[in-house]
C-alpha cells in the first residue's frame, strides 16, 4: 500500500470517528492533509465526515492545481492560508463543533486568547487560539484573516461557525481540534462558577517546558 493510499484511508477514518462522536454533523466540516509529494488531499464539497470515500478526495498537486477527485470544499481559501503561512502545517481540520461555537457567542470572551486556561493539554496542543469575527461560509476573507496572523497561530475560532486547526500531520491536527472542543465544553460547564484556572505562572511553566508557541 502506498503512503498516499494510507493517508487517504487515515483521513476518512479520523473524519468518521469525529462524525460518529458528534463533533461535526451533516455535511459540515472539512479536512485536508499534505501528500508525500507536496500536494494536498482535501474533503470534497458537500460531503459528510461520516461517509468520505478515500478514492474521491480532492487531489491537488504541489502547485495547487486540482488533478483528481471531486470538487474541493468551498473553504479551500481557509486551508490554503494555513499552509501558505505555516511551513510546519501538514494538515488542517475545520469542524462545526457545538461547545466551541457556543463559547464563541459568549460575552466577554477574549478574542486574542479564546480558551480560558483550564487544563495543560489545550495550552500544549494549541497555544493561544485567536477568535476571528463572523464571515459568511466560503468567504475568501476568512483566509485573508488567517493570513493576517502571519503564521503565528495554529488554531483559530470562527465566531458563530467553528474551529480551524493546523497540525504537523493529520493525527496531530485532529487531536488538537478535539482538545479545543473539550476545553470549550469545560468552559461552558464552568461558566458562572468561581472555577480555579491555571495561574499565569503555571501557564508559563507549560509554555517553557513543552516549547509551546505562545504569541501575545
- Residue 83 catalytic? no
Beta bridge partners of 48: none
The one catalytic residue among 4, 83, 121, 171: 121
Could you tell me the CA-to-CA distances from 29 to 23, 57, 168, 180 in Å, in that order? 9, 14, 19, 15
C-alpha 55/C-alpha 67 separation (Å) is 13
- Residue 75 catalytic? yes
C-alpha 171/C-alpha 101 separation (Å) is 22
Cβ–Cβ under 8 Å, residues 128 and 121: no
The one catalytic residue among 75, 178, 179, 181: 75
What 8-state DSSP symbol labels residue 23?
S
Query: How buried is 47 (Cβ within 10 angstroms: 0-12 exposed, 13-18 middle, 19+ buried)?
Result: buried
Q: At what angle do helices 170-190 and 3-20 cross, to 10 degrees?
A: 20
- Residues with a catalytic annotation lie at 75, 121
Amino acid at each position: 500500500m502506498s503512503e498516499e493510499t494510507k493517508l487517504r484511508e487515515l483521513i476518512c477514518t479520523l473524519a468518521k470517528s469525529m462524525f460518529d462522536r458528534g463533533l461535526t454533523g451533516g455535511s459540515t466540516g472539512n479536512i485536508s492533509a499534505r501528500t508525500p509529494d507536496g500536494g494536498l488531499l482535501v474533503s470534497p464539497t458537500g460531503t459528510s465526515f461520516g461517509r468520505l470515500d478515500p478514492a474521491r478526495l480532492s487531489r491537488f498537486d504541489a502547485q495547487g492545481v486540482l488533478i483528481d477527485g471531486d470538487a474541493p470544499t468551498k473553504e479551500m481559501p481557509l486551508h490554503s492560508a494555513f499552509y501558505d503561512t505555516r511551513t510546519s502545517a501538514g494538515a488542517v481540520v475545520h469542524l462545526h463543533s457545538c461547545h466551541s461555537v457556543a463559547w464563541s457567542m459568549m460575552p466577554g470572551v477574549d478574542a486574542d486568547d479564546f480558551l480560558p486556561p483550564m487544563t495543560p493539554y489545550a495550552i500544549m496542543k494549541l497555544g493561544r487560539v485567536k477568535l476571528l469575527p463572523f464571515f459568511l461560509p466560503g468567504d475568501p476573507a476568512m483566509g485573508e484573516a488567517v493570513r493576517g496572523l502571519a503564521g503565528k497561530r495554529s488554531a483559530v475560532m470562527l465566531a458563530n461557525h467553528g474551529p480551524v486547526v493546523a497540525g504537523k500531520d493529520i493525527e496531530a491536527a485532529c487531536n488538537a481540534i478535539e482538545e479545543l472542543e473539550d476545553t470549550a465544553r469545560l468552559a461552558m460547564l464552568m461558566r458562572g462558577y468561581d472555577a480555579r484556572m491555571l495561574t499565569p505562572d503555571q501557564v508559563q511553566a507549560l509554555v517553557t517546558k513543552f516549547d509551546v508557541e505562545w504569541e501575545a
